[in-house]
């Protein structure tokens, strides 16, 4: 499965502020959103709900989330009227075979992310030609050169409609729309992943400094350049 050359040209030439709607139109039925329901997720979810509340939204249920994230996911989906939300994650057998004591992340965090995020997401997106992400260039140095339309080596693509948005702009727009906030953001969590691998950050710290703190790891694997 892949985008046609015409589709790629259309989306490459579409301004960022119109890319989300254009992609949902051009790739109808072949496009999905993967959302963490994290600190800034509500804005992109609200934009999508305005266009199509039945749009497929995948949530990676790693079985290691903060309880607050799971509650927020359900409340936000109801608030926005999202009816296409699906939770995906590793099977019971995969957990039993590869991480039965929930200790894999302690000695091989990349393998843990592969088990709980990368592989389930790959399976879920097999039937889609492109997927939407909420990544921003300002989140990390590894994302600084990211394009709004991001072609992949396998002919598919990622759509990053908020690529140029700053935290301040997102915060302002979320306030304007009166969107519910993730409860952990008030406690200093600016980037929220699995509970054992996430901490709050101090004022002035990089927003993603609380992810895999103390390690060189900065990405879970689903957004590596080769994907």
- Helix H, strand E, coil C: the string for 22-34 is HHHHHCCCCEEEE
Considering only residues 224 and 186, tell me which one the structure prediction assigns the higher pLDDT: 186
Q: With 90 as the cut, is the pLDDT of residue 168 above it? A: yes
The mean predicted confidence, pLDDT, of the chain is: 90
- pLDDT cut 90: percent of the chain above it: 74
The answer to whether the beta carbons of residues 151 and 8 sit under 8 Å apart is yes
- 113, exposed or middle or buried, with CB in 10 Å at 0-12, 13-18, 19+? buried
Confidence of residue 224 (pLDDT cuts 50, 70, 90): very low
Residue 56's alpha-carbon distances to 82, 130, 206, in angstroms, are 9, 12, 31
Query: Is position 220 annotated as part of the catalytic site?
Result: yes
Q: Which fold has domain 5-197?
A: Rossmann fold (3.40.50)
Q: With 90 as the cut, is the pLDDT of residue 215 above it? A: no
Angle at 208 between CA 207 and CA 213, to 5 degrees: 125
pTM for the structure as a whole = 0.90
Task: Convert the pLDDT of each residue in 95-115 to its tens digit.
Answer: 999 999 999 988 898 899 999
Residue 69's alpha-carbon distances to 41, 45, 62, 64, 102, in angstroms, are 11, 15, 11, 10, 19
Averaged pLDDT for residues 148-156: 94
Confidence of residue 227 (pLDDT cuts 50, 70, 90): very low
Residue 142 C-beta-side C-alpha neighbours within 13 Å: 14
- The CA distance from 127 to 136, in Å, is 26
Kindly report which listed range (131-145, 154-168, 193-207) carries the lowest average pLDDT score.
Answer: 131-145
Note the residue count of the chain. 227
pLDDT computed for residue 211 by the predictor: 74
Q: Give the active site residue among 112, 194, 197, 220.
A: 220
- pLDDT cut 70: percent of the chain above it: 89
Confidence of residue 223 (pLDDT cuts 50, 70, 90): very low
Q: With 80 as the cut, is the pLDDT of residue 214 above it? A: no
């Amino acid at each position: 499965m892949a985008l046609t050359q015409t589709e790629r040209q259309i989306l490459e030439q579409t301004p960022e502020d119109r890319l989300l709607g254009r992609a949902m139109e051009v790739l109808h039925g072949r496009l999905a959103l993967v959302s963490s329901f994290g600190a800034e997720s509500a804005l992109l979810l609200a934009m999508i709900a305005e266009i199509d509340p039945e749009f497929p939204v995948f949530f990676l249920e790693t079985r290691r989330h903060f309880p607050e994230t799971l509650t927020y996911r359900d409340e936000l989906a109801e608030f926005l009227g999202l009816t296409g939300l699906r939770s995906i994650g590793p099977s019971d057998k995969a957990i039993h075979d590869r991480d039965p004591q929930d200790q894999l992340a302690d000695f091989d965090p990349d393998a843990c992310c592969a088990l709980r995020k990368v592989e389930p997401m790959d399976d879920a997106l097999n039937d889609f030609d492109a997927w939407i992400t909420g990544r921003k260039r300002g989140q990390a140095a590894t994302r600084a050169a990211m394009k709004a339309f991001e072609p992949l080596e396998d002919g598919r693509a990622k759509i990053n409609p908020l690529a140029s948005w700053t935290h301040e702009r997102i915060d302002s727009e979320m306030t304007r729309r009166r969107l519910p906030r993730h409860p952990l953001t008030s406690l200093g969590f600016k980037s929220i992943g699995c509970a054992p691998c996430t901490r709050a950050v101090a004022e002035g710290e990089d927003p993603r400094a609380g992810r895999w703190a103390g390690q060189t790891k900065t990405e879970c694997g689903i957004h590596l350049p080769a994907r």
